[in-house]
Amino acid sequence: MIKPHGSDTLNPLLVEDPGQRTALAAEAKQLPYLVLNSAAAANVVMLGAGYFNPLRGFMSKADALSVAGGMRTAGGLFWPVPVLNLTSDGHSIMPGSRIALRDPNIEGNPVIAIQEVAAVEELTNEEIDFITAKVYRTSDHQHPGVTTFASLGKFVVSGPIRVLNFSYFEQDFAGTFRTAGQIRNEIAQRGWQKVVAFQTRNPMHRAHEELCKMASEAVGADGVLIHMLLGKLKSGDIPAEARDAAIRKMVELYFPPNSVMIAGYGFDMLYAGPREAVLHALFRQNSGCTHLIVGRDHAGVGEYYGAFDAQAIFDEEVPPGALAIEIFRADHTAFSRKLNKVVMMRDVSDHTKEDFVLLSGTRVRAMLAAGEELPGEFARPEVAQILRDYYRSQAEKVA
C-alpha cells in the first residue's frame, strides 16, 4: 500500500489506550484550558485521525510563515496549509505549560486534547495578510476562508498534542466518519491496490457519478473512495446529513457492488482552492489512496480561482516527489444531448454549450427549494428526491 506522507507508518495522535485516555481526561480537569475555535478543533480531529501525518501538533509562527510562503515547514517538511491553534487569548497561556484544549462545538466544552505549549507567538497584521494572500491567493474579506482566518486571533499556540476524542463526528456521523487508519485497514481488507479518491462537500449528481467511474477506469483502479467533508461549511451549502443520504442512495443504485467505499472526515472547509487541493491530496495519501480526482474549481469559491488552478499547482508549485499520490485531472463533466451520456467537455470538441445539460448551483438550489423536478440527465431521481425533501423540511421550519 502507498506510504503515508512523511513517514513509513501512520502515526495518528489519538490516545488509543483507554486507561491512558481516562488518566489524561482526569489530569485535564486540573489544567488551565483554552476553548478552541472551530478551525483549531477541526485541526485536532485531523491530527488525531492521522490525516495530518506526520505532524505531532500545532505549527509555530515560523512554520506557518514558511508553509504559507513556500509550502514547507521551517524544518523542510512539505506541507501546503498552516495547521494552527490561533487564539485572541494568548497572554494567559504560558510557554512550557500543559493546557487542556476544549471543544467549542459541543455543549459544555468538553476536553478534546491536551497540548504541551512550546511557544506563544503573536502574528502582526502584515503577517496575517501574508498568510492569507499566499494560502487563499487573496486578502479580500468577502472570501469566506479569509474572513474565518482573520477572525481566529493573532496568537499562535504551538506544540505537540494528545487527542482524547473526535468531537461530535463519531456520534453524529457514526456510519460515515472514518479515520485515515480505518480507511487504510478497509482498503487492505478489500484487497484493493489502486484507489481513486473523490472529494466532495456537495451532493453528487450524474456528472460526479460518471466522473468517478471514468477516473477509476482510466487509472485501472480497484475501487473508489467517496470522501465527504463533515465539518463546517459556508452559509447556503447543503449539510452533511442530506449529502450523506443522497450519496449513499446513488452508490447503492448506480455503482457496481463492492466498488465504492463511502467515508467522511472531520474538517471545516477552507475554500482555499489550489492550496486546499494539495492538502486534499496529502491526506488522501495518508488514507491509502493512490489517486485523487482534481476537477474544475476544486475547493474553490466564487470567482477567486481559475477553473483549473487547482490542477496547475501540482505542476507549477508542488516539487517532484513531494507527494506519492497521483492526480487525475478532470475537465468539466456534463450530460451530452448529442451522445446521450455524460462526457468530459474536453473530449467533445464538436459540441457547443447548447449541446450540454448545464445547471448552475444557484438554479439547482432554487429548483429544489421550489419542489421542482431536476432533469434526469442532471440528477438521479432518487438523489433529487432526497434533496427536495431536505429543502421542503427547511421551508417548513421557516414557516
Q: What is the pLDDT of residues 165-217, one digit of tens each?
A: 999 999 999 999 999 999 999 999 999 999 999 999 888 999 999 999 999 99
286 is catalytic: no
Helix (H, G, I), strand (E, B) or coil at 261: strand
Spatial separation of the C-alpha atoms in residues 327 and 47, rounded to whole Å: 23
Out of 202, 248, 296, 329, pick the active-site residue. Answer: 202
178 is catalytic: no
Would you place residue 239 in the very low, low, confident or very high pLDDT band (cuts 50, 70, 90)?
confident
pTM for the complete prediction?
Answer: 0.95
Out of 201, 206, 275, 380, pick the active-site residue. Answer: 201
Task: Give me the percent of the chain exceeding a pLDDT of 90.
Answer: 85
Spatial separation of the C-alpha atoms in residues 40 and 259, rounded to whole Å: 34
Closest CA to 46 of 234, 283, 292: 283
Q: What are the φ and ψ backbone dihedral angles of 33, each rounded to 5 degrees?
A: -135, 165
Domains of the chain: 18-167 (3.10.400.10), 174-265+271-398 (3.40.50.620)
Closest CA to 254 of 228, 229, 224, 230: 224
User: Alpha carbon of 303 to those of 140, 150, 233, 295, 334: distances in Å?
Assistant: 12, 20, 18, 16, 20
Task: Give me the percent of the chain exceeding a pLDDT of 70.
Answer: 99
